Structure 1
């Protein structure tokens, strides 16, 4: 453009925001349509004012690009959007407007360009995104300096201000929204035998907990497992912020109740917790519940759902190994303020959970370059509490020589898995059966 485009965007944006605030329009589609009309009018007003002042005016093409840039600052992610659109990008970390780190799916990390002209502008951008993106408007201010938001259909955002030297922003880009178990075989996460085992476990309505560390691919794995569910089966997804997006995969899941928790206002009123949503989901005739991540007091209702009407449910949580999941659940129950006795909690786990699947992630340099791989490391079959306090387990799959899970002990429910289509000849102890040719 022959004029200062960024300056023009900064000049027009407050007027668009004011128009949106005054309109009181509700509903994502209605807000966006109103915004498009308002932006068109305000850009035309901006061009007319420049012409009357004897200044250079943009061409019709530049005028259209200016309107798109203003729209993108509100309903996309402005200067961050090209990175969000890049299929090779996995994470974007912003430590102030001019310290931007881009992490790619192959493990590379690079310094990116500034995403705003100042930290104040960065904060204003985040406020707009919090107000006009996501299912419900969220506040980002000194009073509410923490923000967690699902943006679009493949992006999760976290932001901080006031509690850090400079405003910080992290974006997690979901790169495998359509992944199924076959895709995970092709990328080395599973082998053919494990793929067949897991598919049968889902079809046999086994309750599954997926564990791993940050960035280990738990959400992608949950989506891939869910792809094995009959398309007509009624599901509920319960999440802090939308990440699973099963409700958008209408060819794969035709009947999905997608639930997203809601934060309270500055007085703490109006919050809807994941705990409440899990309880609500059971009243809406769902056959299975999939929880994006169990973090606190939603643990017990999730276990109760698995133990009663939600057989075949799936959830994810952070844990360092499959064997540590029970201790992790105990910590989560305590952090959520639950007053359930330890032995009662462990008995509930033993009755509710069938399998714990633990994911591994290796990121290192070797002579061939950077190695970045995610894989299933182990699977435990969970059994009712035995002689000890914790539930008993069968170490069905254990880490092999390279860390990837290999068969170890035949699960007690093998007959059910065979009835669901699993070929027991694929369960060869200590052997990785490889991927597809």
Structure 2
């Protein structure tokens, strides 16, 4: 009882035990009475409710949204969506009034500190792939990590960021905090910006009072003596913030949802065109092909094991180098690794000439060629 009272007053109430459950990766709250945990192996189990009614669940969500003194977020019938970081780092997404019942999904970040070598050890990527990506980060190439939901995009982003030299001054730009680079201890200086949706009166510009977007944050960041600007997840118009960061030549990194590397290009173009009618497909493609250099595509699946248990598998399915292409298409993709639909992508042997420039940043051409020839890692 003492723990429940403490959780109710200072933490996340009846949700807290689920957040503390190391078996859980996602928490699904479908109305007040149906709560499921998606475990790390991909299976789901049903657990006790976190509220006694839909109204109580909504009141709890409003409490969470408003208790931050620095970045409160609206949640009401006029603003029926909520996205925020919970204490401890989990990510919460909620909606109500536009669904049949209040719905919440909480994503627990299991690997706040990760490395490319750990991805190799977990069987998620090949050694040559890890070697190339490490060199690309050190060489300040701009990278987008793409994949379906829950494929490990943010986790891989942290592993890529671990390759950034400690002495670099980093700036991160996120709609909701997820990277937590300032907590890893791998870098001396990290300035982390988070967008603020604003609350209250709507101004003549159509924005709520106190709103602060990523584009404003990026503009401010040029006075902070940064060595690298890292933009988080791309879901819409924030793609222009990503493009501006990449055009700065600092070696930016971002994530987006897509089914393949080429689909990621189309997705980013669509996001760019959401900025208005003045943004044509040709302009968006020209910008992306001119600043984006590598797309790392992830995949995932749940495999049923012979003993009846489940195993969640994630892997790097393809790595492509992006370059300006013929006028009609606007870009050219070179598959450096993969594609592979069944496991970690292997070196293809199709190397873009500019990749050889990364040897000064540690790219091992012999390791890559050995994997491509079948003389190295076999997976």
Q: Same fold (TM over 0.5)?
A: yes
Give the paired residue count: 368
Classify 1:331/1:169 alpha carbon distance in 2 versus 1 (closer, same or farther; 3 Å): same
User: How far, CA to CA, are the matches of 1:239 and 1:338 in structure 2?
Assistant: 25
Match of 2:356 among 410, 415, 436: 415
Q: Give the match for residue 116 of structure 1.
A: 51
Structure 2, unaligned runs of 5 or more? 202-207
Q: Does 1:200 align with 2:200?
A: no
Aligned to 1:433: 377
- The 8 Å contact of residues 66 and 73 in structure 2, kept in 1 or not, is answered as yes
Q: 1:216 to 1:134 in 2, by over 3 A?
A: farther
Match of 2:286 among 347, 350, 359: 347
Q: Corresponding residue for 1:254?
A: 188
Q: 1: distance between equivalents of 2:78 and 2:166?
A: 44
Larger CA deviation: 175-184 vs 397-406: 397-406
User: Where does residue 158 of structure 1 map in the other structure?
Assistant: 93
Question: Cα deviations across residues 270-294 of structure 1 (Å, max 9, x unaligned)?
Answer: 2112232233323322121212111
Partner of 2:205: none
Match of 1:326 in 2: 265
Task: Select the structure with the greater relative contact order (CA < 8 A; seq sep ≥ 6).
Answer: 2
Please, what is the CA RMSD of the aligned residues?
2.0
The answer for the alignment partner of 1:188 in structure 2 is 123
Q: Which whole-Å deviations, capped at 9, do the CAs of 1:197-221 have from their partners, x for residues lacking one?
A: 1111111111101111111111111
Residue number among 308, 319, 324 corresponding to 1:379 in the alignment: 319
Aligned counterparts of 1:406 and 1:311: Cα–Cα separation in 2: 28
Alignment counterpart, residue 198 of structure 2, candidates 236, 261, 264: 264
| Counterpart mapping for 1:4-403 below 5 A | 65=2, 69-133=4-68, 135-249=70-184, 251-267=185-201, 268-308=208-248, 310-337=249-276, 339-368=278-307, 369-400=309-340, 402-403=342-343
Distance in 2, matches of 1:229 and 1:79, equals 39
The structure number with the bigger radius of gyration is 1
Q: Are the aligned partners of 1:79 and 1:116 in contact in 2 as well (CA < 8 Å)? A: yes
Could you tell me how far apart the structure 2 residues matched to 1:338 and 1:276 are? 21
The 1:307–1:356 alpha-carbon spacing in structure 2 relative to 1, beyond 3 Å, is same
Structure 1 alignment gaps of length 5 or more: 6-64
Normalised to the residue count of structure 2, the TM-score between the two structures is: 0.91
- Paired position in structure 2 for 1:20: none
CA separation in 2, counterparts of 1:280 and 1:236?
Answer: 11
For the 8 Å contact 2:233–2:254, the answer to whether it is kept is yes
Structure number with higher helix proportion: 1
Deviation at 1:351, TM superposition (A): 1.7
What CA distance in whole angstroms lies between the structure 2 residues aligned with 1:274 and 1:386?
32
The ranges of structure 1 where at least 4 consecutive aligned residues each deviate by more than 6 angstroms after the TM superposition are: none
Corresponding residue for residue 204 of structure 2: none
Are the counterparts in 2 of residues 134 and 149 from structure 1 also a CA contact under 8 Å? no
How many angstroms apart in 2 are the aligned matches of 1:231 and 1:197?
19
